[in-house]
Amino acid sequence: MKLRTRLAVTVLGTMAVLLAGLLFVREAMDRAGTERALLEYVTERMRSGGREWCDAEPASFVLGSGRWRPESGAFKGPAPGADGERRTNPPPLDDGNLAQRPPTPPRPHTHPHSDRWPRIEIWAYRADFTSANPEAPAFPERLRRELEEGERSATEEWDAGEREGLQAAVRMDWDDGPSAIVLARRSAAPRSLFSTNMLIVFAAQCLLLVVAVVLAAGPLVKRVRKLETQMRESAASRYAKPVEIDGADEVSELAQTFNSAAGEVRANLESLESRERALRAFVENTTHDVMIPLTVLQGHLTALRRASESGAGVERTVVLDSLQEAHYMASLIQNLAAASKLESGSLELVAHPLDLNALVERAVGRHRPIAKARGIALEHAVPPTPLFTRGDVTLVEQAVSNLIHNAVRYVQPGGHVAVVLEERGARFSLRVLDDGPGVPAELRAKVFERSFRADDARSRQPDGLGLGLSIALDVAKRHGFTLELRAPAEGGAELELAGATAPAA
């Protein structure tokens, strides 16, 4: 549903509710006014001659518009006079001649204006709610209960056939006589709930309000449509083009919010595109780096198979080269798994007490066969008492393994690599030292970057992604450890992983 239509429907619905409320209030006020007027009318009629009349003729007393009074030949209740005006009191009674007046049989009479005036009948009752007039209706039970409970008057709806009816009971000022209590019944012509004038006024008001709403909503709808168009253009430009902010109202706030959200979406898109490019390059490099040792390994295995088929002896160098390539591929795949885990947003470190002595021995034992095959001496030293820290055993062991692998892989055959674990107060120090060529001072800050390797390293080992040191630094930061690269005075390189110790489990 469009905005203008929605506003128009809302206005019409509100007007309908208001009309229903006004009709309810009007009905309640009309009812209250009718009850008050009827009670005042009854009291005034009885005080101004009605009581005397009832005392004189209790068996036939009834006051009412349009009713015939048989004994006097006059209207009971207000009747038109000679001048056409209606009297408010009954005709005076001549007590001296009343007994000599011959009875007149009742005859129907209809007042010429009876349909235009409410018809009211007043019946008299004694204090015990009985009437001397045999034609009087039975006193209503509900009204009787209210008067017996101490009320001076009571009203209720009355079934008057096709006309609206209201009946009222009034306890008079006098407590005895045939008119101690009176019952008045009022019936009027049916009244329409909606008058013609009311419908015309209501329709005119609705029309004016709808026109006002449509006119007032016009500029707003125009601005919203303009904003919609600009949003589409911004989305088509990958949110590089912001929408215009015109004014200082809610539409302007919406445009400003859209620009803020579009900026965040734009930044996320650029970050996603950058990561996608990096991932694509990473996959390409990974494929290349895995294929090189895999191809070499396949060649060595083929040579071993041919030697086996020909009965010739197996060359030791071929077996060692195959072992080295397999070890490298295993390290590469482990680093890829670690990198994927570290870059995952859902990574939660599971820190447990970690035995560094056992960790160093496992890592050194894993690389010793390769070091031995290349003629590299790999030694280690640990404290006599196990040294503990807290961390994720898988990630920390992978980081230490990368440090050892980096040293073994880039040291010349015949070189030395030492892994030293020491306790320094409340901290531990794990150093990996080698006697290789080291890293130039200007490149030391970059060796921990992803996919970076020095030119000397590239010339000696052209395969590899440069993941090892980057992963080790990431693991160190996540555990609150430090990882530094130094150049010892005697030459080579020194990598130190340090952190806080922890009690054993």
Measured in whole angstroms, how far is the alpha carbon of residue 256 from the centre of its chain?
22
Cα–Cα distance between 387 and 483 in angstroms, integer? 18
pTM for the model: 0.43
Q: For position 178, what pLDDT does the model report?
A: 93
Q: For position 129, what pLDDT does the model report?
A: 93
Name residues whose C-beta falls within 8 Å of residue 137's C-beta, 6 or more positions apart in sequence. Answer: 123, 183, 185
Name residues whose C-beta falls within 8 Å of residue 107's C-beta, 6 or more positions apart in sequence. Answer: 68
Strand partners, 420: 381, 431
Tokens standing for residue 474: 């990431």
Coarse DSSP helix, strand, coil percentages of the chain, rounded to the nearest 5 percent: 50, 15, 35
Q: For position 95, what pLDDT does the model report?
A: 43
Residue 4: count of CB within 10 angstroms of its CB:
17
**What is 324-361 written as a DSSP string?**
HHHHHHHHHHHHHHHHHHHH-TT-----EEEEHHHHHH
Q: For position 117, what pLDDT does the model report?
A: 53
Q: For position 455, what pLDDT does the model report?
A: 43
> Sign (positive/negative) of CA torsion 445, 447, 448, 452?
positive
Q: Are 467 and 453 in contact (CB under 8 A)?
A: no
Q: Is 77 exposed, middle or buried (0-12, 13-18, 19+ CB in 10 A)?
A: buried
Strand partners, 121: 64, 185
Element (H, E) at 494: strand 493-500
Q: For position 79, what pLDDT does the model report?
A: 40
Q: Are 117 and 100 in contact (CB under 8 A)?
A: no
CA distances from 440 to 20, 412, 417, 473, 493 (A): 91, 17, 19, 19, 10
Q: Are 73 and 104 in contact (CB under 8 A)?
A: yes
Q: How do the domains of the chain map onto residue ranges?
A: 3-191, 197-292, 347-500
Q: For position 93, what pLDDT does the model report?
A: 42
* Length, in residues, of the chain: 505
Q: For position 130, what pLDDT does the model report?
A: 94
Q: For position 358, what pLDDT does the model report?
A: 93
Helix (H, G, I), strand (E, B) or coil at 79: coil
Per-position pLDDT tens, the chain of length 505: 566 677 777 777 777 787 777 778 878 888 888 889 989 999 999 998 899 999 999 999 998 754 434 344 333 444 443 344 444 444 444 444 434 444 433 333 344 444 455 788 999 999 999 999 999 999 999 999 999 999 999 999 888 776 678 999 999 998 889 999 999 998 876 666 666 777 787 788 778 877 777 777 777 778 788 888 888 988 888 888 888 887 777 778 888 888 888 888 888 888 888 777 766 766 665 665 566 567 767 777 787 777 777 777 767 777 777 776 776 677 667 666 666 666 655 556 778 899 999 999 998 988 888 888 888 999 999 999 999 999 988 889 889 988 998 898 888 889 999 999 999 999 999 999 999 888 887 777 777 776 544 444 433 343 333 577 888 898 899 899 999 998 888 888 999 999 999 998 6
Q: For position 444, what pLDDT does the model report?
A: 74
Cα–Cα distance between 330 and 328 in angstroms, integer? 5
Superfamily covering domain 347-500:
Histidine kinase-like ATPase, C-terminal domain (3.30.565.10)
